[in-house]
Chains A and B, each alone.
Chain A
Amino acid sequence: MKAVTGNRLDDGVVVYLGDDDRWTSDLSAAARFEDGDAKDVLAAAQKRVKEIADAYLIEVDDSGAPAGRETLRETIRKSGPTVRLDLGYQAEA
């Protein structure tokens, strides 16, 4: 499964494309797509240039957690630096 992620244009924070087509900071609330559909969704997301700096696809498992090759990188993006647990989304949890 795939999800769409990017960094919000005005402040750069990590966001994911939600079910309602709005950006969310919560990966578990992100919309999940079959690999085949994901490309079209990404292409549409990439057109929203006033909202995000960039957008790309990440692999997620059935529970919505990062999966595949980029698991560590995407886990760090989702949570925050592993060396500063007081920063990033992990600090709010």
Chain B
Amino acid sequence: MKLLKLSRGRLYPALEEPLSEVSLEDWLDNPQGHADATALKISNDVSLASIRCDLAGFSTIILEFPAFKDGRAYSQARILRERYGFTGEIRARGDVLRDQLLFMARCGVDAFEFTGDADGANEALKEFSFAYQRAADDLQPVWRKRLDRAAAA
């Protein structure tokens, strides 16, 4: 397993510091017993509506992509960023393919357990200059750019 972290639009290989992981279920069951956990692992079939806790205690949230086709965690990532305002690291684990990195990044994932080649991963992030819709990243949707351009003209 390799770890790539996103920083200012680029992916860099990162050291794999050991995380102290706890699953959401275990943590909700017994928060005191997991006081030293640094990473919260959320499986993709739980509703985030059940999280009534302070996520800021975790440096990392791990989201699962058990198969490339299983896209539930894209929504989870956005909800964590946009609704719960989580500013720590969101890490994608599982079947993480080069051609999905851009989508994941746009949904707020900024660390990837990725077995492929880092150069290819960076190329994949740069394949599109624009986006049509707003997401969890800071990319301006094209309609905003159109408005800005019209205003400038």
* A–B contact via C-beta, under 8 angstroms: no
